[in-house]
C-alpha cells in the first residue's frame, strides 16, 4: 500500500555540486560529475543508496562570492558546473532512475553583478531602483538602521553606494543585494524563474532563506538585548536568533512572507506533483509551523533547524519532535535533517572522546525512522567528518569549509573526486572513510545507510505511518512507535554509553522481531519483548506483534 506524495515518503539527498564529483579535472565538482554518479544514488537495487530525490545547491552563473548563493543569472548554468544541456542530461538520467530533482531557488537576494542590480544601482530614477531595498543615511551619515548581516564578518547589513548616495540592504554579503519583495514586478520576475525550471522538468525547489523575503517596510531598528556579549558585539540579531527567544525582529519573518509563499504555491500547484521545501531558519517551532500555512497553501515542507541544533540528548530530540507534531496544521509533514552545507557534520558535531562515528550511526537510524521527510547531506552516508582546512586554504567567509570538503569516493589522493587538486582539501581519514572501502563491508556506515533506506522503502509504517513517542522508556533512550495498518515498529535509540535493559510494556505487543540494529554484530531475528537490551550507542528497530489484551 502506498500513500501520499513522493516528497512525503522519499529520502532526499543533498548535493553540494562543487564538492560531489569533478568530471573535467578542474578541481571543482560539476553537473556531469553528478550524472556520472547517479547509479551510486539509486540504480533500483539495494546495492545502491536508494535515495528518491536529490537537492542541488546552486549551479547558476555566479561570481561565487558565496559559492553560488550569489546568483547573477537565475536561468543559466555557471560554466564551472557545465551547461544547460548538462543540466537536462542530469534531469533525464535522474528521472530514468526514479530520482526526483530539487533545485535551490535563492529569491531573497541576487549577486551585485546581476543585471537587475546593475540597473538598480545605476541611478535613483532607474526603473529597477525599487527592485532592491535602498534607503537614505540617518543623520550623521549612519546606515539606515541597525540591521546586521547574517555573517558576523560582513558587519552591518547595509552598504553605501557613492554614486547615488544611498544604502542598499544585504542580509548576507555586500555582494548579495536583497530584493524588494514588496514590489510586484519582483514577484512576477521570480515567478518566471520558477516556471522556467518547472518547464525544464525539475520536481521542486529548496527556497533559500524563505523567512527573510519580507521584512519591516518601515525599516525599524531591531531591539538590542544582549549588550556585552563578545560573540555578539552589536547586542542584537544574532543572539536573539540563536536563542530563539521569540523577541520580535524587524528584518525577518514579516507576516507578508506568507503571502509570498502562497504565490509560489499557486504556481507549483499548476504543475503536476511539484514541491517546495523552505530553509526557514527560525529557531522557534511555533513560527516554523506557520510556514505550512493551512497545510495546503504554503510550503510543502520546512527544514526544521531546531531539530538540527539539539544537543546529543534523547529528551532534547523527543521534545522537539513531539512539540512540533502538536503545532503542525493537519496533513502537514515535517522535514528532518542533521546536516547541510552550513553545519558541522554529524560524526564531528556529536563527538565526545571518539564516539562520534558510533553516534552518527544512531543519528542515521533516527533520521530514517522518524516521521517526516529525511534530508541527507552528501558524505554523511559514509560517515565523513568535518575536514581540516588550514588557514591558507580557507575560502568561506563564515567558517563553513570543513563541511564542504570533497566527497570521498576512494582512497586515491583526490579521493576519486577529482584528478586535479580539489578546491578544498580532501578530509583527513579519506583513505578509510570512502565509498570504495565501504561498499562491500557489511559493517560500514554506507551499508547501514543502505539497509535503513531500503528497509524504509519497504515499510509503510516508516514512510507515512503514525508516530508516537514513549516518554516512559529508560532515560538514555529515545523510543517511539511507528504504525500503519498491519505494521507496528518500535524504534529505540540509545544516546548513552551504557547498555540499557528494557522490559517492554506488554501493551506494546506480545512478540517482536529485531529488524535492524546499528550494531553490525547484531543479527535480525525473534526477540522476546521482555528481554530487550539496547547496547551503548546502539539503535534498534523492532517489529511488534499484536498488543496483549
Ligand atoms: C542560506 C544558504 C547559505 C547561504 C545563505 C545566503 O543560508 O544555505 O549557504 O550562504 O543562505 O544565500
CA of 153 to the centre of ligand 1 (A): 15
401 lines ligand 1 (CB under 6 A): no
Nearest protein CA to atom 12 of ligand 1, as residue:
69
377 lines ligand 1 (CB under 6 A): no
Nearest protein CA to atom 7 of ligand 1, as residue:
209
Q: Of 58, 30, 326, 389, whose CA–CA distance to 209 is shortest?
A: 58
CA of 208 to the centre of ligand 1 (A): 6
Q: Which long-range contacts (CB under 8 A, 24 or more apart) does 497-500 make?
A: 497/355, 497/536, 497/537, 498/536, 499/533, 499/534, 499/535, 499/536, 500/474, 500/476, 500/533, 500/534
CA of 57 to the centre of ligand 1 (A): 10
- Residue with the three cell numbers 532563506: 209
28 lines ligand 1 (CB under 6 A): no
CA distance 134 to 143: 11
Per-residue pLDDT of the chain (549 residues; tens, 9 = 90+): 345 699 999 999 999 999 999 999 999 999 999 999 999 999 999 999 999 999 999 999 999 999 999 999 999 999 999 999 999 999 999 999 999 999 999 999 999 999 999 999 999 999 999 999 999 999 999 999 999 999 989 999 999 999 999 999 999 999 999 999 999 999 999 999 999 999 999 999 999 999 999 999 999 998 887 666 666 666 665 555 555 566 788 999 999 999 999 999 999 999 999 999 999 999 999 999 999 999 999 999 999 999 999 999 999 999 999 999 999 998 899 999 999 999 999 999 999 999 999 999 999 999 999 999 999 999 999 999 999 999 999 999 999 999 999 999 999 999 999 999 999 999 999 999 999 999 999 999 999 999 999 999 999 999 999 999 999 999 999 999 999 999 999 999 999 999 999 988 777 777 789 999 999 999 999 988 788 999 999 999 999 986 644
Nearest protein CA to atom 6 of ligand 1, as residue:
69
Q: What does 393-450 look like in DSSP terms, one character per residue? A: G---TTS-GGGGPPP--SSSTTTTT-SS--SSPPPTTTTTSSHHHHHT-TTSHHHHHH
178 lines ligand 1 (CB under 6 A): no
69 lines ligand 1 (CB under 6 A): yes
Q: Of 272, 323, 319, 274, whose CA–CA distance to 299 is shortest?
A: 274
106 lines ligand 1 (CB under 6 A): yes
The length of the chain is 549
Rg, Å, the chain Cα set: 24
Nearest protein CA to atom 9 of ligand 1, as residue:
342
Nearest protein CA to atom 2 of ligand 1, as residue:
208
Enumerate the active-site residues.
208, 279
Amino acid at each position: 500500500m502506498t500513500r501520499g506524495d513522493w516528497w512525503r515518503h522519499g529520502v532526499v539527498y543533498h548535493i553540494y555540486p562543487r564538492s560531489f564529483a569533478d568530471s573535467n579535472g578542474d578541481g571543482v565538482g560539476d553537473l556531469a560529475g553528478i550524472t556520472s554518479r547517479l547509479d551510486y544514488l539509486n540504480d533500483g537495487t539495494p546495492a545502491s543508496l536508494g535515495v528518491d530525490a536529490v537537492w542541488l545547491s546552486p549551479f547558476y552563473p555566479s561570481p561565487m562570492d558565496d559559492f553560488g548563493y550569489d546568483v547573477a543569472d537565475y536561468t543559466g548554468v555557471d560554466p564551472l558546473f557545465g551547461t544547460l544541456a548538462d543540466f537536462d542530461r542530469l534531469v533525464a538520467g535522474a528521472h530514468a532512475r526514479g530520482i526526483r530533482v530539487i533545485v535551490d531557488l535563492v529569491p531573497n537576494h541576487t549577486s551585485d553583478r546581476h543585471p537587475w542590480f546593475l540597473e538598480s544601482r545605476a541611478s535613483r530614477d532607474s526603473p529597477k531602483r525599487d527592485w532592491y531595498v535602498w534607503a537614505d543615511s540617518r543623520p550623521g551619515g549612519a546606515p539606515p538602521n541597525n540591521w546586521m548581516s547574517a555573517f558576523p564578518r560582513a558587519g552591518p547589513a547595509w552598504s553605501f553606494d557613492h554614486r547615488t548616495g544611498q544604502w542598499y540592504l544585504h542580509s548576507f554579503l555586500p555582494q548579495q543585494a536583497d530584493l524588494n519583495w514588496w514590489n510586484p514586478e519582483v514577484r512576477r520576475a521570480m515567478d518566471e524563474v520558477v516556471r522556467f525550471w518547472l518547464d525544464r522538468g525539475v520536481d521542486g525547489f529548496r527556497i533559500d532563506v524563505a523567512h527573510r523575503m519580507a521584512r519591516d517596510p518601515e525599516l525599524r531598528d531591531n531591539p538590542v538585548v544582549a549588550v556585552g556579549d563578545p560573540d555578539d558585539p552589536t547586542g542584537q540579531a544574532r543572539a536573539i536568533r540563536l536563542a530563539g527567544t521569540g523577541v520580535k525582529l524587524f528584518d525577518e519573518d514579516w507576516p507578508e512572507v506568507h503571502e509570498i509563499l502562497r504565490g509560489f504555491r499557486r504556481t507549483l500547484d499548476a504543475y503536476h506533483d511539484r514541491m517546495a521545501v523552505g530553509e526557514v531558519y527560525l529557531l522557534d517551532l511555533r513560527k516554523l509551523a506557520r510556514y505550512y500555512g493551512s497545510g495546503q497553501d504554503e510550503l510543502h515542507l520546512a527544514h526544521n533547524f531546531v531539530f538540527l541544533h539539539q544537543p546529543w540528548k534523547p529528551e532534547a530530540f523527543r521534545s522537539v519532535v513531539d512539540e512540533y507534531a502538536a503545532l503542525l496544521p493537519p496533513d502537514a509533514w515535517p522535514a528532518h535533517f542533521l546536516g547541510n552545507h552550513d553545519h558541522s557534520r554529524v560524526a564531528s558535531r556529536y563527538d565526545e572522546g571518539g564516539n562520534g562515528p558510533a553516534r552518527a550511526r544512531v543519528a542515521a537510524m533516527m533520521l530514517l525512522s522518524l516521521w517526516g521527510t529525511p534530508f541527507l547531506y552528501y558524505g554523511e552516508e559514509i560517515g565523513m567528518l568535518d575536514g581540516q582546512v588550514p588557514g591558507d586554504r580557507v575560502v568561506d567567509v563564515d567558517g563553513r569549509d570543513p563541511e564542504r570538503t570533497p566527497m570521498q569516493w576512494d582512497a586515491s589522493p583526490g579521493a576519486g573526486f577529482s584528478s586535479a587538486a580539489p578546491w578544498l582539501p580532501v578530509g583527513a581519514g579519506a583513505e578509510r572513510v570512502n565509498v570504495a572501502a565501504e561498499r562491500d563491508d557489511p559493517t560500514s556506515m554506507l551499508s547501514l545507510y543502505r539497509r535503513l533506506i531500503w528497509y524504509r522503502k519497504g515499510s509503510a509504517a516508516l514512510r507515512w505511518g503514525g508516530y508516537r513517542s514513549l516518554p516512559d522508556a529508560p532515560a538514555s533512550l529515545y523510543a517511539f512507535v511507528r504504525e500503519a495498518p498491519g505494521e507496528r515498529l518500535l524504534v529505540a535509540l540509545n544516546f548513552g554509553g551504557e547498555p540499557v535493559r528494557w522490559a517492554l510494556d506488554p501493551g506494546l505487543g506480545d512478540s517482536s522481531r529485531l529488524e535492524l540494529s546499528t550494531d553490525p554484530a547484531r543479527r535480525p531475528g525473534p526477540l522476546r519483548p521482555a528481554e530487550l537490551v539496547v547496547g551503548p550507542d546502539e539503535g534498534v528497530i523492532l517489529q511488534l506483534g499484536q498488543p496483549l489484551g
